[in-house]
Amino acid sequence: MKGLLFGVLAGVFVGSPVLAQQTDYVVGSQDVLAITVYDQPDLSGTFNVEADGSFTFPLIGRVAAGGQTLRALEEDLETRLADGYLKHPQVSVAIEQYRSQRIFLMGEVRAPGAYQLTGDMTLIEALARAGSVTASAGDEVMVVRPRDTRSDAGPLTPDDEDAEIIRVNLRALQAGELSHNVPLRDGDTLVVLRAQAVYIFGQVKSPGAFSIEKGTTVLQALSLAGGVTDRGSTGRVFVVREVDGKKKEFKVKLSDTVEPGDTLIVKERFF
């Protein structure tokens, strides 16, 4: 993914980490909260959400934050502070550090692994965190999404019965179609697929394996191999393809479509 995709990735992280303080973010254990009570500096500061989802706040004691959105937590703190402590308290809650939610990146990315899910992270941001895609990446990424909300689950596979599969066309995203920029959720596994390949041999200038897109024709595939040599014949191109579990060879036209795993063989002219 080059060009526009890299340009978009470069602009993803402009601004402060606290900027992404979405009020619908659900707080989890190990998150670090930045809480501000206006005109009350002694009550403002950072607070660690403990393993049980709660933390201790001045004056009111233990607060159950886990499972609450930031907006709900603000309202909860305002209500409890107004109960005999402050008159018309105004509270703002943001995430100082995201630690409770994570996603997994696998396949053709430069740095696969687990990453913290921060704010309203999208597909583009996640790819940037993983160093973008490799040169072997194809044009599709699968977002494997758990159907439940288990935060302690590991990465899922596309074969997992408890997973929802969202297929994203990276080339469309590269072209600027940001409707493909999927918002991510806790537990998502991103699998960047390897590019589909064909093998081209015989009378071509640069034989070898080549990545192709869906719908690639024989003529387009031959151009990837530098074209046919002076001794080759575009009228004598054959494909070796697996059909019903058996390898079969048959002649193809330049306008025919190749399939992943095909082997194209360009034979010599008769004279």
- Token couple for 153: 């689950």
A 10 A CB-CB count for 173 gives 24
Cα 74 to Cα 142: distance, rounded to the nearest angstrom:
36
Cα 95 to Cα 186: distance, rounded to the nearest angstrom:
16
**What is the arithmetic mean of pLDDT over 73-95?**
95
pLDDT of residue 23: 60
Alpha helix (H) residue ranges in the chain: 4-10, 70-82, 123-129, 170-174, 218-224
- Token couple for 182: 């999927």
pLDDT of residue 8: 44
The two beta strands, 137-146 and 189-194, are antiparallel
pLDDT of residue 230: 94
pLDDT in tens, 80-89: 999 999 999 9
pLDDT in tens, 128-144: 999 999 888 888 899 99
Exposed, middle or buried, 16 (CB in 10 Å: 0-12/13-18/19+)? exposed
Non-local (6+) Cβ contacts of 215 within 8 A are: 257
- Token couple for 62: 């233990």
A 10 A CB-CB count for 31 gives 23
Worst-scoring range by mean pLDDT, 86-90, 159-163, 175-179?
159-163
With residue 240 as reference, give the H or E element that holds it.
Answer: strand 232-243
Task: For each of the domains in the chain, give its residue range(s) and CATH number, in order of start.
Answer: 4-13+100-194 (3.10.560.10), 28-97 (3.30.1950.10), 196-268 (3.10.560.10)
Angle subtended at Cα 25 by Cα 23 and Cα 28, rounded to the nearest 5 degrees:
135
pLDDT at 217 over 90: yes
pLDDT of residue 112: 93
Cα 99 to Cα 119: distance, rounded to the nearest angstrom:
11
Q: What is this structure's pTM?
A: 0.61
**What is the arithmetic mean of pLDDT over 206-234?**
92
With residue 116 as reference, give the H or E element that holds it.
Answer: strand 113-116
Cα 17 to Cα 223: distance, rounded to the nearest angstrom:
47
Quick one: pLDDT band at residue 7, thresholds 50, 70, 90?
very low
